[in-house]
């Protein structure tokens, strides 16, 4: 029945983020079709003979379904067959405003810039915000938004609103993916830049509790322990970083594991010199 079908859609919607699906209008088309079928099957409709009006409704429903398929597919085709660039992002988003992959790419591309201007900050914040609006249930989207706000804090100053936005975003990403170390680690970096060394140490320590092979996490713990004056703990954390690096390098691992043992060599060497 129509009620059962709509109930099933609602229940599935509680566990799946259908708003982020390219063919989201399939759901609206199905609802319209079910409601229309119920209207056609009613005794009043049969007596009045209004069932002859079903073709315009069917065409409208079919048009919605076709639009739901063609428009996202066209945008994805544009993106996948073009060289990623700021211009390509604007073109693709104009074709399909709900396609978040170009937004995510552009925000990440801006984060990779070695130096930032206010224009960089404004654009990265806008793309990360729009990406988050499309995928509010994505830990990756929250983490990206937090990283953009944290970069603004590091580059231009600790405005309370920006700091709170970064903390909130990292908190959401940690809630959505509580077993991944990247989120507390990223927040720890920001807290360190703000001078909140105790909070940064708690977050960095939590990141290596989640993943004991997280080399960058151990290096940050070592740096923070050194800043706090605990040379023994700093050396111990550095040893854990080196052990994790040496244990991981000979193996052929997944991208996730390769990211765990990735680290900036210059930071490692500088830390080793300070602890000698």
Alpha carbon of 2 to those of 29, 48, 71, 114: distances in Å?
13, 22, 28, 56
Q: What is the pLDDT of residues 133-192, one digit of tens each?
A: 999 989 999 999 999 999 999 999 989 999 999 999 999 999 999 999 999 999 999 999
**Is 203 a domain residue?**
yes
Rounded Cα distance between 206 and 204, Å, is: 5
Answer with the one of 50, 77, 104 that is the final residue of a domain.
77
Range of the domain at 27: 2-77
* pLDDT, position 23: 47
Rounded Cα distance between 168 and 145, Å, is: 10
Q: What is the pLDDT of residues 200-228, one digit of tens each?
A: 999 999 999 999 999 999 999 999 999 99
**Is 51 a domain residue?**
yes
Q: How confident is the model at residue 52 (pLDDT cuts 50, 70, 90)?
A: very low
**Is 143 a domain residue?**
no
Rounded Cα distance between 124 and 112, Å, is: 11
pLDDT of 28 higher than 70: no
Q: How confident is the model at residue 240 (pLDDT cuts 50, 70, 90)?
A: very high
For residues 137 and 181, is the Cβ–Cβ distance under 8 A?
Answer: no
- Judged by DSSP in three states, 241 sits in helix
**Is 192 a domain residue?**
yes
Rounded Cα distance between 146 and 163, Å, is: 9
**Domains contained in the chain, number:** 2
Which residue's structure tokens are 């050396």?
Answer: 235
* pLDDT, position 185: 96
DSSP string, 143-211: HHHHHHHHHHHHHH---HHHHHHHHHHHHHHHHHSTT-SHHHHHHHHHHHHTT-HHHHHHHHHHHHHH-
* pLDDT, position 40: 47
Answer with the one of 29, 46, 77 that is the final residue of a domain.
77
**Is 187 a domain residue?**
yes
For residues 198 and 235, is the Cβ–Cβ distance under 8 A?
Answer: no
pTM: 0.75
**Is 124 a domain residue?**
no
Q: How confident is the model at residue 76 (pLDDT cuts 50, 70, 90)?
A: confident
**Is 23 a domain residue?**
yes
Rounded Cα distance between 3 and 111, Å, is: 48
Query: What six digits make up the tokens of 77?
Result: 């085709």
**Is 250 a domain residue?**
yes
């Amino acid at each position: 029945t129509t009620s059962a079908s709509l109930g099933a859609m609602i229940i599935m919607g509680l566990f799946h983020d259908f708003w982020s699906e390219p063919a989201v209008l399939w759901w609206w088309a199905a609802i319209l079709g079910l409601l229309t079928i119920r209207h056609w099957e009613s005794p009043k409709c049969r007596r009045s003979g209004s069932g002859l009006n079903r073709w315009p409704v069917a065409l409208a429903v079919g048009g919605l379904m076709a639009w739901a398929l063609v428009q996202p597919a066209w945008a994805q085709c544009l993106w996948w067959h073009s060289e990623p660039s700021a211009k390509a992002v604007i073109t693709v988003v104009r074709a399909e405003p709900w396609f978040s992959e170009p937004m995510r790419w552009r925000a990440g591309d801006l984060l990779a810039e070695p130096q930032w201007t206010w224009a960089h900050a404004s654009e990265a914040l806008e793309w990360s915000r729009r990406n988050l609006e499309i995928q509010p249930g994505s830990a990756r989207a929250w983490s990206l938004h937090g990283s953009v706000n944290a970069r603004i804090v590091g580059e231009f100053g600790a405005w309370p609103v920006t700091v709170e936005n970064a903390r909130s975003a990292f908190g959401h990403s940690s809630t959505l993916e509580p077993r991944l170390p990247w989120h507390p680690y990223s927040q720890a970096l920001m807290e360190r830049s703000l001078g909140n060394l105790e909070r940064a140490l708690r977050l960095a320590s939590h990141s290596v509790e989640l993943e004991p092979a997280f080399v960058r996490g151990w290096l940050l713990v070592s740096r923070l322990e050194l800043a706090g004056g605990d040379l023994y703990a700093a050396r111990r954390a550095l040893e854990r970083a080196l052990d994790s690096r040496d244990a991981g390098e000979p193996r052929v691992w997944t991208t996730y594991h390769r990211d765990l043992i990735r680290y900036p060599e210059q930071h490692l060497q500088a830390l080793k010199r300070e602890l000698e």
